Structure 1
Amino acid sequence: MQTVTLSIHRFDTVRARLWVLGQMALARLSLARMDDCQFWKLCGSGMGEGFTPIPNTAVWAILACWPDEDTARRRLSTAPVFRRWRARASESWTLFLHPTSARGTWSGQTPFRPGEDTQGPLAALTRATIRPRYLLPFWGKVPAISDVIGSDGNVAFKIGIGELPWLHQVTFSVWPDADSMADFARRDGPHARAIKAVRDGDWFSEELYARFRVIDTRGHWSDARPLPIGDPT
């Protein structure tokens, strides 16, 4: 079954942050040479709760798709690009994910291959390319959505990442189960109103929605609530 990894890294020093900026070009070469890496993206992040238009130069992520769990674990442990990022980072956390549903495209591709649903916390990923003329109204709504997500006691983890600031946005969140996620999505408020505005106005030129089961984690992240799985080492 396809396994997706999201590896998040925090770089505290100025030297480390300058290094990872260079990796936005250099790491592409390493990932492109991995024949068993089906899809990958290097992403920056936003400040605050993560869902903001202000870049966070300390937090960066690598998302990758692998043909199976064994390959994902082996590559994350041994591939030089992942080892270098962990060695430079002050904090690193990787989530191992099994896709359970997906619709839409990412850079013209369909990267996630859903399989049989399994047990474990549920993760949701939304990726969109925002039409330039809708940048201001979109980012005008995002801070309110961020506040609502951040105050929801069910959310174990949330982050906003993206390949290109402001235009390409990825939201990723982890929930204990499908009911708590569905309850948040149905609740009237900034999130529901923003979705309606996006649909009515055709704000996105490309979008993708996917759900995953979190099957394992490695490392630690101070902003995440403890999950009932994973190895902090």
Structure 2
Amino acid sequence: MLTTLSIITLLPNQRRWGFAQMGTAQQPLRRVAGLRFARLLGSGADNGFGALPNLRRYGFMAVWESEAAAEAFFGQHPLWQQYQQRTTAIWTARLAPIKAHGLWDGVNPFDYASETAAPDEPVLVLTRAAIRLLKTPRFWRYVAPVSATIADAPGVRAAIGLGELPIVRQATVSLWDSARQMQDYAYRNEKHKEVIRLTRQEDWYSEEMFARFRVLSTEGVWELRSES
């Protein structure tokens, strides 16, 4: 099995098309052979962490039954060919889960044979939550400003805020030079620790997931910061 994450930056004149895909692409994705789990994700302003949408930036996260299934989709599928024709940049990472806990729409899609990563190897981290509607003001007051600072943390190559629905279903993806630097931020950054405490104390989320991945390979350009 294989997990992939793509960061997609559309051409300026493709905003309407890209937004429409959040609904219309679901049916063709359900018919893709070997695709076990897939989510198209929107993004916000300010590198994804703002409440207003960025209609040019999207994410696509998928879990495949095999590398061959992923290669067939990215190489030949008409939907992905349309994305390639309508973008200024696409960055795709091939990932293997190191650790994943919690649920995403009632399942853990990354609950398959896990890998290990050396402390100095690059890692990609996903945090995703469904926010209780009445808790959204507190969430955006505390979490969004802290999440936005991740991109400037030591060891971060790039970070972006993504989401399935505005305001209430949010995720953060961050790419780190090493697991060591990621852990330093998670356990030593005082603002981050305060947000974790408030999350538990005030029960902000109806569902949440944390996943850490070994980065097997990347291709393309993220555009927030170049990766290859």
TM-score calculated relative to the size of structure 2 = 0.92
Alignment of 1:68-79 (within 5 A): 68-79=66-77
Write the deviation string for residues 37-56 of structure 1: whole angstroms up to 9, x where unpaired. Answer: 00001110011132222211
Matched with 2:57 is: 59
Q: Distance in 1 between matches of 2:44 and 2:211?
A: 21
Matched with 1:23 is: 21
Deviation at 1:12, TM superposition (A): 3.3
Matched with 1:49 is: 47
Write the deviation string for residues 53-112 of structure 1: whole angstroms up to 9, x where unpaired. Answer: 221111012111102223222321111111111111111111111111111110111111
Deviation at 1:181, TM superposition (A): 0.5
Q: Distance in 1 between matches of 2:113 and 2:145?
A: 31
Q: Which moved more, 1:48-57 or 1:92-101?
A: 48-57
Q: Distance in 2 between matches of 1:146 and 1:200?
A: 19
Q: Distance in 2 between matches of 1:94 and 1:137?
A: 33
Deviation at 1:117, TM superposition (A): 2.0
Is the 1:103–1:210 contact (alpha carbons within 8 Å) kept by the matching residues of 2?
A: yes
Matched with 1:12 is: 11
Write the deviation string for residues 168-215 of structure 1: whole angstroms up to 9, x where unpaired. Answer: 011110111111011000124221111110011111000111110111
SS at match of 2:26: helix
Q: Distance in 1 between matches of 2:149 and 2:38?
A: 30
Question: Which residue identity lines up with residue 114 of structure 2 in the other structure?
Answer: G
Q: Distance in 2 between matches of 1:24 and 1:49?
A: 19
Is the 1:144–1:190 contact (alpha carbons within 8 Å) kept by the matching residues of 2?
A: no
Q: Distance in 2 between matches of 1:23 and 1:151?
A: 31
Is the 2:147–2:172 contact (alpha carbons within 8 Å) kept by the matching residues of 1?
A: no
- Note if 1:91 corresponds to 2:89: yes
Matched with 2:161 is: 160
4+ long deviations beyond 4 Å: none
Deviation at 1:223, TM superposition (A): 1.0
Deviation at 1:225, TM superposition (A): 4.8
Is the 2:18–2:56 contact (alpha carbons within 8 Å) kept by the matching residues of 1?
A: no
- Note if 1:117 corresponds to 2:116: yes
Q: Distance in 1 between matches of 2:40 and 2:145?
A: 26
Q: Distance in 2 between matches of 1:143 and 1:131?
A: 15
SS at match of 2:156: coil
Write the deviation string for residues 124-148 of structure 1: whole angstroms up to 9, x where unpaired. Answer: 1011000011100100113431343
Q: Which moved more, 1:158-167 or 1:54-63?
A: 54-63
The alignment's C-alpha RMSD in Å is: 1.6
Gaps of 5+ in 1: none
SS at match of 1:224: coil
Deviation at 1:114, TM superposition (A): 4.1
Report percent identity of matched pairs.
36
- Note if 1:176 corresponds to 2:181: no
Question: Which residue identity lines up with residue 154 of structure 1 in the other structure?
Answer: G
Deviation at 1:118, TM superposition (A): 4.7
Question: Which residue identity lines up with residue 102 of structure 1 in the other structure?
Answer: A
